[in-house]
Structure 1
């Protein structure tokens, strides 16, 4: 909801700037709106629009990369979890307790992520989460292999545990994926100038007002998507956790 509020505020600022431009046109003397003046305004607006387009494209690209990184991480962790479970199963029946513990840890991680609650997400990298991961690894290290095959499987399981438990670090990606406030404020300022200048270019009428409304709406929606993709574990646009659910369904079998 926070991102939606920000997007609505941006829409209000941009659209009000356009309306102010339309109103300002009716107040300015005609000499301020002759061809030479409009030409200078268009050149300046074009320069600002180019910079705004570059910044907007940069933010969209960065947000998409952040979203894709977390999505790929989810799939990678799901595969690692299944592989670790199979390694433990190959070791022998003495790993049943460890496999049940692994399933509980994964289920708790999925529950925290799907909650969408910031306090729940922060628990993914809390001291308690680290202790549960360390306990799981310690239980694997305490196994007493009887032959070379079990020793190899134990070493492999220990090596994989750190990577598997990295699913809790998705909470850190959530916190790190933030849009620079200064860059966002600058972009909104440029958009307000651009739409305010648009209002000076033509006499006010219903068609112009609707067009400016749709333009302001489109830019605010784009910024909303940027904010959402920069926080891929929270909000309306989130990374699908289907690979993790599929991994959870086969654990312990």
Structure 2
């Protein structure tokens, strides 16, 4: 809802700027609207529009890259969890408690992220969450291998557990990325100037008003998508938890 609110504010600012431009078109003296004046205004607006397009493209590219990174880490984490469970299964019945703990941890994580509750998602960064991971790793280290194969499996399992928890923390940190507020404000200011100029260049009529309305709506939707992709674990646009749910179906078997 926070992202939707920001997008609605952006839409209101941009569209109202266009309406202001149409209002000024009928109020400015004629010499302000002659060809020479309009030529200078168009050149200036062209420069601002180029800058706005570059910044908007940069923000979209950055948000998409962040979203894809977290999505890939979820898939990789799911594969590592399955591999860790199979290594523990090969070790022997001594790891049954660890396998149950692993499945419970994964199920809890999936449930929290699926809730779309920011407070619950934030709980994944708490000291209790870290301690649960440390407990799993400590119990893994407390295993007493009886032969060379079990020693190799224990070492491999410890390595996999470290990688899983590292990926998890990396994914959580990247999923809390935010769009730089000064850059966003600057972009919205440029868009307001551009749309005000659009309204200034033309006589007000229904077709122009609808076109400017759709343009303002499109820019606000673009900013909404940028904000959503920068928080891929909650909101409307989220990474798929399908790989983790599939991993849950095979854990412990």
Q: TM-score, normalised by structure 2?
A: 0.98
Unaligned runs of 5+ in 1: none
Correspondence 1:80 to 2:80: yes
Say if 1:7 and 1:223, in contact at 8 Å, map to a contact too: yes
> 159-168 or 180-189: which moved more?
159-168
What does residue 219 of structure 2 align with?
219
Instruction: Quote the RMSD (CA, aligned, Å).
Output: 0.9
Determine the structure 2 residue equivalent to 1:134: 134
Give deviations 1:12-45, integer Å, cap 9, x for gaps: 0000000000001110111111111111111000
Return the offset for 1:171.
2.6
Tell me if 1:235 matches 2:235: yes
Residue equivalent to 2:9: 9
1:70 — aligned with what? Answer: 70
1:172 shift after superposition: 2.0
Is this contact kept in 1: 2:133–2:165, CA < 8 A?
Answer: yes
What is the match of residue 101 of structure 2? 101
| Match of residue 124 from structure 2 | 124
Partner of 1:181: 181
Structure 2 gaps, min length 5: none
The question of whether the paired residues in 1 share the 8 Å contact of 2:77 and 2:168 is answered with no
Q: How does 1:36-51 map to 2 (within 5 A)?
A: 36-51=36-51
Q: What is the rounded CA distance, in whole Å, between the counterparts of 1:145 and 1:233 in structure 2?
A: 39
Q: Distance in 2 between matches of 1:30 and 1:227?
A: 42
Q: Which residue of 1 aligns with 2:198?
A: 198
Contact 2:178 2:231 (8 Å CA) reproduced: yes
Q: CA deviation at 1:122?
A: 1.3
